[in-house]
Chain A
């Protein structure tokens, strides 16, 4: 699990297309769209149960200074995604 790095703080997390995609804009200007399916599949939670193919994002909560928690339509909400992980998902 990568450590949170301050330079990768997002300036905006935008849920689009009825929860099917997350657009992340980082403080350095980089913007990327992450499909909900990919975000769900990359959950760092210890709960390794798989999500359905039509999963959507239904909630976003800030976690301290370093991460966000996503709530998914299948009830999965234990993944805490730090900014470095979001950067990885946005650029890989």
Chain B
């Protein structure tokens, strides 16, 4: 086991911050500790020179690591903070924050990677499908720049603040609770915001809306892999993500990125939905695969993700979407509604049966 003397001796030949005086005699060493063969050392430096002194830090670390009996070495550069800061164990202590939203059992992100694949239509009909299966459902429209839920649900009211003056009351329609930036601004108004404002709005939608008791909160994500996605992944423990794609290669490439992103932030992939899967002509009944067919299923298989179902490209779906009466509600026994209901059943199974959700780490302050 290396002793302090041996370590200091090893640092005789390493110049300290002034480039000449050996580290051991430079007076800059702070907090040398040896624990089970692991050596920890701090070197006090002028903060402005931190980058320039990185080679010195690395050299000291390598020197110590090379000593017999040293299992690992960590040399850290330190500096006194410029601003007065809280010091010592009596400093501000934050209680471990639970991130879960009280009352909300599962949070599902509906994402796509690519825009224009029908993600919001799928999210809205999925939510209504889950409600039809008996679940208590909310929809959070996280697409701050292009909110779709007001149009899809045919709603133009402004949400009110609760009697306690604290929380925004979600709107309710067709048995689901809703919140969208679109309820707070005129249709057609452009929201021109930078990232931090988006993050702030999404956090408010998560925590300052009176969602009550929900089995599932469906989050309609904006396209891409940007601020909104990162905010969602960081601000709440997402139970899973569902990727919507058309069968077309161009859309699949972005779907792949969406899946990779959720993997990076440890959000389970509930599966892939192939939207605009095929077109059946209302006149002759002939089928045309306008955007190809089956690509999303192959992509899901390639990733080991479940395939949740095909939704055809259908004029009825589009008309009911634009008309504010989504097909699951306006034509509940139609084949179109059945397609969405099949997806909802698989999502419910993925969320509520099988393995219990991964628990968050226990956080303890001794």
User: What is the interface of chain A, defined by CB distance below 8 A to chain B?
Assistant: 3-6, 9-19, 33, 35, 37-38, 40-41, 48-56, 58-68, 71, 73-75, 80, 83, 92
Contacts and interface: CB of A to CB of B under 8 A. Distances in A.
Given A38-B74, A49-B79, A13 B362 contact: yes
B21 interface: no
Contacts of A48: 50-51
Nearest to A24: B361
A64 B363 contact: no
Given A58-B93, A61-B94, A61-B97, A52 B79 contact: yes
Contacts of A73: 85-88, 91
B45 interface: yes
B81 interface: yes
B89 A60 contact: no
Given A19-B91, A61-B96, 15 more contacts: A11-B359, A13-B364, A33-B35, A38-B76, A41-B76, A49-B47, A50-B45, A52-B79, A53-B31, A56-B88, A59-B92, A62-B99, A65-B267, A73-B88, A92-B72
A50 B363 contact: no
A74 B81 contact: yes
B93 A59 contact: yes
Interface of B is mostly: loop
Contact of A71 (B94, B236, B267, B366): B94
Contact of B266 (A6, A17, A18, A71): A6
A36 B81 CA distance: 16
B362 A12 contact: yes
Contacts, number: 152
A63 B203 CA distance: 13
B238 interface: yes
B291 interface: no
Interface string B324-366: 0000000000000000000000000000000000111111111
Contacts of B98: 62
B83 interface: yes
A59 B358 CA distance: 23
A53 B30 contact: yes
B263 interface: yes
A11 B267 CA distance: 17
Given A58-B93, A59-B94, A64-B233, A12 B361 contact: yes
B366 A56 contact: no
A58 B85 CA distance: 12
A3 B236 contact: no
Contact of B361 (A3, A13, A49): A13
Given A6-B266, A52-B80, A68-B361, A37 B42 contact: yes
